Amino acid sequence: MFKALTYGLLSSLFFSSTFILNREMATASYAWQWTAALRFLIMLPLLALLLSRNQAYRPVLQSVRANLSSWVLWSCVGFGFYVPLCYAASFGPAWLIAGALQITIPAGALLTPLFLAPSVVNGELRQVRHKIPIKLLLTALLIMLGVGLMLVHEATSVSFLTVLAIVLPVGVAAFAYPLGSRKILFKHGHNLNTLQRVFGMTLCSMPVWLCLAGFELGQNQLPPLEQIFQSSIVALFSGIIATLLLFEAANLVKHNLSQLAVIEATQAGEVVFTLLGGVLFFHDGVPDLFACLGIALVLIGMVINSLVVRK
């Protein structure tokens, strides 16, 4: 479990680059459609190159051919979370979007009844539909309280409509990502490693990215070189490194849905890293007392999550 937690925290560090760079591209008035599409269009050949050794992509293609509709549906849901995330970047600062995305934490717990997991019942191994883990949900809400405190001071400088324009699309993203990722993991991930699953989901989510790119091309809008460069960084740091770390963490605990919810809760670290990144690299204001208290609650909540699972 410690190894999985470490991977989860490291993934949140690399994921934080998404919020910072997406906001940079939004303030430069770059089209959010290109911001979303470029990340995955760049990721696909990189992943294919990583899997080219020993033709490791073949099992993925075989699984996709055998279950095409399922792969496409849940890949578009799981990775399609990035569409509302990029849209929201046009309305508010990185810290607010990173904070709103932490709805993923209780979302992961609420989604638990939608999945079956192996459990021993009367001496027999059966697939059982688990209930919502109440203790984990309560600690997830503690993390959410910490996130709220981190945002309370900053949010006073942003209009309510702006906050709503961020929270609603990011709320959709917060449920879409764990839902799609878990569906692929449990339905088709048994004989695939982490890299293969990410490649399969990237490949099968191409309809979303090609539609966005086609829309922009139809408007005679090409992405500037700076946007391509920044999207490449997001693709490498967030799309490949962070995603692989998070998927590998989920793979280590995939037979325990409560532990899986804890791994998803480590993504609260994105808020901390986004705040620190903004201060160090973009000279954002230093977090005030409320923000520091919020950071402390986030970290305490993550520790309590780990202790509850170990118990």
- Coil, strand or helix at 28: coil
CA 213 remoteness from chain centre = 22
Mean pLDDT, residues 10-35 taken together = 89
Distance CA 81, CA 267 (A): 15
Determine how β-strand 124-129 pairs with β-strand 116-121. antiparallel
C-beta separation of 205 from 197 below 8 A: no
Asked if pLDDT for residue 113 goes beyond 60, the answer is yes
Distance CA 1, CA 238 (A): 23
Asked if pLDDT for residue 137 goes beyond 90, the answer is no
Distance CA 85, CA 91 (A): 11
Distance CA 11, CA 240 (A): 10
Cβ neighbours of residue 9 under 8 Å, at least 6 residues apart?
Answer: 266, 269
pTM given for the model: 0.81
* Residue-wise pLDDT tens digits, 155-191: 676 677 777 788 889 889 988 988 898 889 888 877 8
pLDDT score at 255:
72
Helices (H), the chain: 2-27, 32-51, 58-66, 68-79, 82-88, 94-100, 104-110, 134-155, 160-188, 194-204, 206-218, 225-234, 243-252, 257-265, 269-282, 289-310
C-beta separation of 162 from 139 below 8 A: no
pLDDT score at 309:
59
pLDDT score at 240:
84
Asked if pLDDT for residue 18 goes beyond 80, the answer is yes
Asked if pLDDT for residue 264 goes beyond 70, the answer is no
C-beta separation of 73 from 176 below 8 A: no
pLDDT score at 69:
94
* Residue-wise pLDDT tens digits, 31-84: 999 999 999 999 999 999 989 888 889 999 999 999 999 999 999 999 999 999
Q: How confident is the model at residue 125 (pLDDT cuts 50, 70, 90)?
A: low
Distance CA 1, CA 263 (A): 9
Q: How confident is the model at residue 204 (pLDDT cuts 50, 70, 90)?
A: very high
Q: How confident is the model at residue 91 (pLDDT cuts 50, 70, 90)?
A: confident
Asked if pLDDT for residue 123 goes beyond 70, the answer is no
DSSP string, 122-153: TTEEEEEEPPP-HHHHHHHHHHHHHHHHHHHH
Domain ranges of the chain: 2-310
pLDDT score at 128:
63
Distance CA 117, CA 187 (A): 12
Name the nearest CA neighbour of 76 among 170, 211, 168: 211
Share of the chain above pLDDT 70, in %: 83
Asked if pLDDT for residue 27 goes beyond 90, the answer is no
Q: How confident is the model at residue 308 (pLDDT cuts 50, 70, 90)?
A: low
- Amino acid letter at 60? V
